[in-house]
A and B are shown apart, each in its own frame.
Chain A
Amino acid sequence: MRITESLVYKLMGTETLRAQGNMERAARPLMTGRNISRPSEDPALADQTNKMEREFTKTTQLMRNIDRTRSYYGLVDATVQNVSDILIELQTLAISQANDMLGPNERLAGSAEAKQLADTLAGFANGRFDGKYLFSGRLEGTPAYDAALNFTGDAIGRKVQIGETTKIDAHITGVQIFGNGALGDVTAFQAANNLITALNANNTPGITAALGELNTAHERVTVAHAKVGSRMGELQSTEFLLEDLNLARKTTYARLTNVDVTVAASEMAFAENVLQASIDTAKQLNRSMFQNMIG
């Protein structure tokens, strides 16, 4: 093949530019810290990256939902425990006052104690969380119970998304804890009032009946408490699952998108050497052709 001056100059120019381009391409991952900075560099990886980032955002949101719901149930848990304790005290009082040996005066004293406990119980009915009523269900701007302790809230409550396809009840409603008078339940408040009435009337059968009602109310609270516990457990286990998923995704994401500095630095060094060799060769060729021309 004939070697001509224009051929040599073209070769010098082309190869030096190519080496320069390769060096720029090798330097970019080191400068950005990412394997790719444009989708066209690796369309499949870019697609995977976008999908993963969407998954992170979703998972982060679900964990926020879990956190908020858990705060609610944490307060409900403490409240329901208090309600349970009060009912136990009322039950204990009823048992002790059911003794026929006690007279009207002792029963009047018992009635005063029962009244105090009943008032405390009623105070929990319209407990609040984050400016909303704890036990009103979806009607969270309205007190769960009116002055006569009739339920005025929403008996069902709403759901909250905590997983890809998982929703959880966001409320425990007043009827689940204290009973639903509209459906014929004797509510915990009613049971406490019935005890007070029986004690005031020195009515032993009435006291026994009130005790039975208090037992039923306490069972109801226990069931509600178990539900709260179960939901908190579900929130926690879902959170752990999401954390594990997030960790696995983040590891994969980092592996796919973050540059391996050692490999990138080595490629950069190689590209730099090639560029330098290209420039030195061009200088040498240039010198030798110039000498030929003037020689």
Chain B
Amino acid sequence: MIAHRSMMSLTTKNISNANTPGYSRQRANFIAQNAPGMAVKVGVPQAIRAKFIQSSILGSKQSFGFNQGQTDILRVIEPTLNDLDGNGISQALSDFFGSANEVATNPAGLSERQDLVHKARFLAHTLNSSARALTQAREAAHLEATDTVDEINTIVAELAKLNQQIVDHFGEGTQGEALIDQRNQLLNQLSEKVGISVLSTEENSVSVFLKGGPALLSATIPNKLRVTGGGNAALGVVIDSPSGSTTKTTIPLSGRLGGLFQARDVTGKQVLDDLDQMAFGLITAVNTLHQAGFGLDGSTGNAFFEPLGAATGAAQGIAVSAVIENDPSKVAAAKVDTLLPGDNSNMLDWVALQDDATVVAGGKTVSEAYDQIVSRVSNDLRSAEGQTYFESNRLNNLETLRDSVSSVSVQEEMVALSQFEHGYQAAARLVKVADDLYETVLRMV
């Protein structure tokens, strides 16, 4: 009766946990006994798990997390480089050069010059906004990475506690198995956040390492991950141990943290650098022409854009010079001051800059440089989204397989419950028969 009642209790536990995420159904076996008064006992309950599926889930989670992390940041970056609605840097560039062409056609016209200054100002503001948005996206990635690391540290601390509890309850069956299920759930969560490898130790404890790197968790001793870098510097991580030592690591990370680093410090940084190069090339080329030319009032030597010393920060710093803003007649359309106001030869050279492949470092026109920037972001995002989708499907399939092996089928448990109930009733009947026999003997005495 006790054996059957234990089995009913185990079955009830399984049914109660049918919807518990990560719960692995538990099974125990009847073991026949020859001891007096004990015909059968129940073995230690074991959880039904497929380790190879669990290991595949960990790998898939890492890849999913990596691509999801990239996608999240690139989706924030993409709108700053989206010209499909007719507004954006590409159109601003076209309008700027178009306006220069208007001045070339009517160099004496003040309204054409004012329009050129307006279009230049708009181009500068558009570049400023895009650069600011890119910088903010990189800062957001940094904040997100810091939050992710906090979550990682919390999970690692919980894993350490669970390891201790699992060791304490080693071989005790049900309670230990439930703890292992909880630990597997935490490992899944952890691996989505950062790529890990897991090493099982004796007594069912685990150590967790950064994939290809140092230990995050040594059985019951948790280390702490910390983000380094920021601003213009690339992000990295170090591991602080409870003893006070710090381990640097330069291995490429996977998981969400790796995806955030990739989006921020590879794609995001490259895009910002390229935008800066494009802006700097434009400023330098236009200013070189402008300073050699003559305004309507005969003035010369004026920069059209505020000069910048280096490419870094050029996209955020580009601005029409105050001299030109205050007096558009100083726009230097002429090369020869004795042919004012009608000489437009400087402005024609300015218009030709649009197709000049020496403007941007690397042998690119301004438009080509911008097209490459947009292409990089859109292709990286498309690839990351595609990989996220692929990994999401793979993860679903793996989790379906896992559920098929490990999760509870209520119908199955109901059948088992019925079986054990009948067994319990049969055993109870035996007790009744034995009791009746005993009473009969007593009455005979």
Contacts and interface: CB of A to CB of B under 8 A. Distances in A.
B254 to A, nearest CB: 22
Given A136-B342, A137-B342, A6 B375 contact: no
B273 interface: no
B399 interface: yes
Interface string A148-171: 000000100111110000010010
Given A43-B378, A53-B91, A10 B409 contact: no
A39 B404 contact: no
A57 B99 CA distance: 10
Contacts of A14: 396
Contact of B374 (A1, A3, A50): A50
Contacts of B101: 61-62, 65, 161
Interface in B364-408: 367, 371, 374-375, 377-379, 381-382, 385, 396, 399-400, 403-405, 407-408
Contact of B404 (A2, A54, A292): A2
B345 interface: yes
A14 B389 CA distance: 12
Report whether over half of chain B's contact residues are helix, strand or loop; otherwise say mixed: helix
A274 to B, nearest CB: 16
Main secondary structure of the interface of A (DSSP, over half): helix
B84 A68 contact: no
Interface string B81-116: 111111000110111011001101111100000000
Nearest to A164: B355
A246 to B, nearest CB: 14
B373 to A, nearest CB: 11
Contact of A4 (B84, B341, B404): B404
A161 B408 contact: no
A5 B413 CA distance: 12
Nearest to A14: B396
A39 B105 contact: no
A43 B379 contact: yes
Contacts of A62: 101
Contact of A50 (B90, B340, B354, B399): B90
Contacts of B83: 49-50, 53
B108 A141 contact: yes
A34 B83 CA distance: 13
B342 A5 contact: no
B84 A61 contact: no
Contacts of B102: 61, 64
A170 B18 contact: no
Contact of A54 (B19, B90, B409): B90
A93 interface: no
Given A14-B396, A53-B94, A139 B409 contact: no
A55 to B, nearest CB: 9
A170 B345 CA distance: 12
B275 to A, nearest CB: 15
Contacts of A154: 339, 342
A140 B342 contact: yes
A10 B101 CA distance: 62
B421 interface: no
Contacts of B374: 39, 43, 46-47, 50
A80 B343 CA distance: 24
A36 interface: yes
B371 A10 contact: no
Q: Interface extent on A, as a size class?
A: 35 or more
A138 B108 CA distance: 10
Contact of A38 (B84, B351, B354): B84
B303 to A, nearest CB: 24
Interface string B406-433: 0111111000000000000000000000
A160 B396 CA distance: 64
Contact of A37 (B84, B95, B341, B367): B84
A68 B106 CA distance: 9
B28 interface: no
B342 A138 contact: yes
A43 B94 contact: no
A273 B345 CA distance: 64
Interface in A122-155: 130, 132, 136-141, 154
Contacts of A287: none
B150 interface: no
A43 B78 CA distance: 12
A1 B344 CA distance: 80
Contact of B78 (A40, A53, A292): A40
Contacts of A36: 84
A263 interface: no
Nearest to B21: A6
Interface in A1-21: 1-7, 9-11, 14
A231 to B, nearest CB: 15
Contacts of A138: 339-344
20 contacts: A4-B18, A4-B403, A5-B408, A6-B19, A6-B21, A7-B403, A39-B84, A47-B374, A47-B375, A51-B367, A57-B94, A60-B98, A61-B102, A64-B102, A68-B106, A132-B108, A138-B342, A141-B341, A154-B342, A160-B105
A-B pairs, top 5 by smallest CB distance, nearest first, are A138-B342, A39-B378, A57-B94, A43-B378, A40-B381
Interface of B: 18-19, 21, 74, 78, 81-86, 90-91, 93-95, 97-98, 101-102, 104-108, 339-345, 348, 351, 354, 367, 371, 374-375, 377-379, 381-382, 385, 396, 399-400, 403-405, 407-412
